[in-house]
Amino acid sequence: MYPGLDYGLQKLGIDFDTQKLPFKKLKSIGLKPRQKWNMMMQDAASNMRKLPQKALPFVEKAHALSTIGNVAICCSKEDLIKSMDENGIDKSIVIAHPPLIPNEFILEECNNNDRLIPVVNIPNTVNEPKKVLRDYVDQGAVALKIHAAADGKQNKDNHYRLLLEQANELKLPVIIHTGCIHIQPAYKDPDMGHAKHFEPWFQEYPNIKFVLAHMNYHYPETAIEFCENYSNVYCDCSWQPAEIIDEALKRIPKKIMFGTDWPLIGSNQTTMVKRTESLLIDEALKEQFYKQTAQKVFKL
Ligand SMILES: [Zn+2]
């Protein structure tokens, strides 16, 4: 979910009914081909790891640019709820990514809607990160997100230490973006996204539940092993091909969730539901994967 024109105008104090804008109608033009394209791109993303390493920086940038259109157009709360309804999804984790997606925007949009679960991401430009995190939790945030690749910061960074200390005190789960994607300047240092960097945190804060979003993307074995070795580490299955999700469901059935940091909106939820539905036959496992593990981690 991204701040659209409605939010921008509201912040500028302009009262304008954007529902009447022709943009709302324009959204539907070319929707089907856009969705189909995005679904193809989602499948392609899961298989990029088979390409030569040298090609990845170029291919990943081209891929991100090719899919951003549909996500940018279908970005509102209404779009998200519509996608959830179409795909049988009861609740969504909705994560801030300041300054592009401000924490205040996410908290406001999720307020009074028990289907949307807000998660905050505190930038290192904030003076009192501990206090800011406490305030956001008071306003309804259920978890903290850390995106070291986007921040370009190392795991030893003092900003992260302060946030983890506060999360530990508040018994707040922490979602970490994992996976190296070469989309600079959006991600300042792609390598900082590798799950291996966060192992010291799992040891230092055994009472924090950590979620490795995207299962470390091109290197899922590392994420699966961390889930096996640390009782406080979980993951979601986004960006993974069917065969990896299948393997993870067998090895770490109580540690893997459908999604936290993705599948966003557009046609991405449909893509992932189709992929996981083909694997989940056992009803008890389905309950665990789609619902119970997330309920436990995020105390829903
Ligand atoms: Zn992510």
What CATH code is carried by the domain that includes residue 162?
Answer: 3.20.20.140
Residue 87 lies in a domain: yes
Note the pLDDT of residue 2: 61
How many CA atoms, within 13 angstroms, populate the side-chain half-sphere of residue 149?
Answer: 20
Q: How close is the Cα of 21 to the center of ligand 1, in Å? A: 32
Cα 179 from Cα 191, distance rounded (Å): 8
291's tokens: 């619902």
Note the pLDDT of residue 40: 79
Residue 115 lies in a domain: yes
Q: How close is the Cα of 282 to the center of ligand 1, in Å? A: 28
Describe the chain by its helix, strand, coil percentages, rounded to 5: 55, 10, 35
Q: How close is the Cα of 213 to the center of ligand 1, in Å? A: 6
Q: How close is the Cα of 261 to the center of ligand 1, in Å? A: 5
pLDDT along the chain (300 residues), means of 10: 62 61 65 75 80 80 73 77 92 93 94 93 95 98 96 95 98 96 82 96 98 95 98 95 95 96 75 88 93 96
Residue 6 lies in a domain: no
Counting the structural domains of the chain, the total is 1
Note the pLDDT of residue 280: 78
Q: How close is the Cα of 215 to the center of ligand 1, in Å? A: 10
Contact 97, 79 (CB under 8 A): no
Q: How close is the Cα of 97 to the center of ligand 1, in Å? A: 10
Contact 111, 135 (CB under 8 A): no
Q: How close is the Cα of 18 to the center of ligand 1, in Å? A: 30
Exposed, middle or buried by CB within 10 Å (0-12, 13-18, 19+), for 226? buried
Residue 208 domain boundaries: 29-298
Q: How close is the Cα of 139 to the center of ligand 1, in Å? A: 23
Note the pLDDT of residue 62: 77
Instruction: Give, as one character, the DSSP assignment of residue 211.
Output: E
Residue 20 lies in a domain: no
Q: How close is the Cα of 207 to the center of ligand 1, in Å? A: 23
Name every residue whose Cβ is closer than 8 Å to that of residue 271 and which is 6 or more positions away in sequence: 38, 39, 42, 43, 263
Q: How close is the Cα of 219 to the center of ligand 1, in Å? A: 14
Q: How close is the Cα of 22 to the center of ligand 1, in Å? A: 32
Note the pLDDT of residue 187: 85
C-alpha to C-alpha distances, 179 to 34, 109, 263, nearest whole angstrom: 26, 28, 15
Q: How close is the Cα of 212 to the center of ligand 1, in Å? A: 9
Q: How close is the Cα of 225 to the center of ligand 1, in Å? A: 19
C-alpha to C-alpha distances, 191 to 127, 146, 179, 194, nearest whole angstrom: 26, 14, 8, 6
Global pTM reads 0.89
Q: How close is the Cα of 12 to the center of ligand 1, in Å? A: 30
Residue with tokens 């701040």: 3
Q: How close is the Cα of 83 to the center of ligand 1, in Å? A: 19
C-alpha to C-alpha distances, 188 to 33, 124, 147, nearest whole angstrom: 32, 14, 10
Note the pLDDT of residue 204: 98
Q: How close is the Cα of 209 to the center of ligand 1, in Å? A: 17
Residue 242 lies in a domain: yes
Note the pLDDT of residue 14: 64
Residue with tokens 């557009």: 266
Residue 10 lies in a domain: no
Residue 116 lies in a domain: yes
Cα 159 from Cα 142, distance rounded (Å): 20
54's tokens: 């040298």
Strands ordered across the beta sheet of 92-95: 92-95, 116-120, 143-146, 174-177, 210-213, 233-236, 256-257
Residue 21 lies in a domain: no
Note the pLDDT of residue 231: 98
